[in-house]
Amino acid sequence: MQRKGTTPATFDLFADEAPQPPAVEQIGPQSYVFRGFALPFIERVLPALESVLSQAPFRHMVTPGGHTMSVALSSCGSFGWTTDRSGYQYTPTNPQTGEPWPALPEVFRELAIAAAEMAGFVDFIPDACLINRYIPGAKMTLHQDKDERGYQWPVVSVSLGLPAMFLFGGHQRSDKTQRVPLFHGDVVVWGGVDRLRFHGVMPVREGSHPQLGEQRINFTFRKAR
Ligand code: MD3
Ligand code: FE
């Protein structure tokens, strides 16, 4: 369908529609934001999330430097991410319970694989899903994700609930950052040459989301091993 140029305005069924932001934004050579990509999965994602969190509740981790993180964390999949005085690591069991992490729900796997494929990463099979919860005021300072064994695999992130301003830097902490707003249902894929770029999240602003309430939840799918 032609929406611009030679089509007479009287035949343009979409003339009254508000302009839509593009569904895909490229934010780096191998990084893409897919707006609303998770929404068709949401009816299955929310109960799966509830189930994971009932088995592995959120907790605030203490960094090796002794700081308690403002973001609360859980995990599912074969490996979960933990931190303590000895450092950061992926572990097959939850140190809080001694049990294996909850299995990666099928709908999580489907969503992660579909998004990775959209960004050109075929054969991505995540083995770890980190679940971050931000209440208003929580933030994540600039960091690199380097605890995974190989950097050839992308990271896929799914944002739910309150919006957040994502900061995307370069390969040095001091590099200029670009700001990318992330909304409920947005999915971002980072890989290849962008995989080790510094990134962070600005403090989440007060608000309430109709489905998630006063919080932002972010899943990141990775291949840890
Ligand atoms: C960019 N989480 O869990 S999305 C993290 O929104 C993390 O909760 C943020 O950074 C959040 O480590 C940002 C995830 C993300 C993950 C890995 C990346 C962004 C990335 C690797 C390279 C570049
Ligand atoms: Fe990160």
When the pLDDT of each residue in the chain is averaged and rounded to a whole number, the result is 93
Residue 30 lies in a domain: no
Q: Which pLDDT band, with edges at 50, 70 and 90, does 6 fall under? A: very low
pLDDT in the model for residue 73: 97
Number of domains forming the structure of the chain: 1
Q: Residue 159: CA atoms inside 13 Å, Cβ hemisphere, count?
A: 23
Residue 28 lies in a domain: no
Rounded to an integer, what distance in angstroms lies between the CA atom of residue 166 and that of residue 7?
39
pLDDT in the model for residue 95: 93
The tens digit of pLDDT for each residue in 140-197 reads: 999 999 999 989 999 999 999 999 999 999 999 999 999 999 999 999 999 999 999 9
Give 130's contacts (C-beta < 8 A, 6+ positions apart): 73, 74, 75, 80, 81, 219, 220, 222
Residue 72 lies in a domain: yes
pLDDT over 70, % of the chain: 93
CB of 218 closer than 6 A to ligand 1? Answer: yes
CB of 186 closer than 6 A to ligand 1? Answer: no
Q: Which two tokens stand for residue 193?
A: 């040459």
Measured from the alpha carbon of residue 195, the closest ligand is 1
Q: Whose C-alpha lies nearest to ligand 1, atom 12?
A: 145
Distance of CA 43 from the midpoint of ligand 1 (Å): 24
- The CATH number of the domain holding residue 196 is 2.60.120.590
Residue 113 lies in a domain: yes
The tens digit of pLDDT for each residue in 91-103 reads: 999 999 999 999 9
CB of 148 closer than 6 A to ligand 1? Answer: no
CB of 145 closer than 6 A to ligand 1? Answer: yes
Residue 106 lies in a domain: yes
pLDDT in the model for residue 217: 98
Do the beta carbons of residue 38 and residue 160 sit within 8 Å? yes
Which residues constitute the domain of residue 197?
A: 35-222
Residue 4 lies in a domain: no
Q: Which pLDDT band, with edges at 50, 70 and 90, does 1 fall under? A: very low
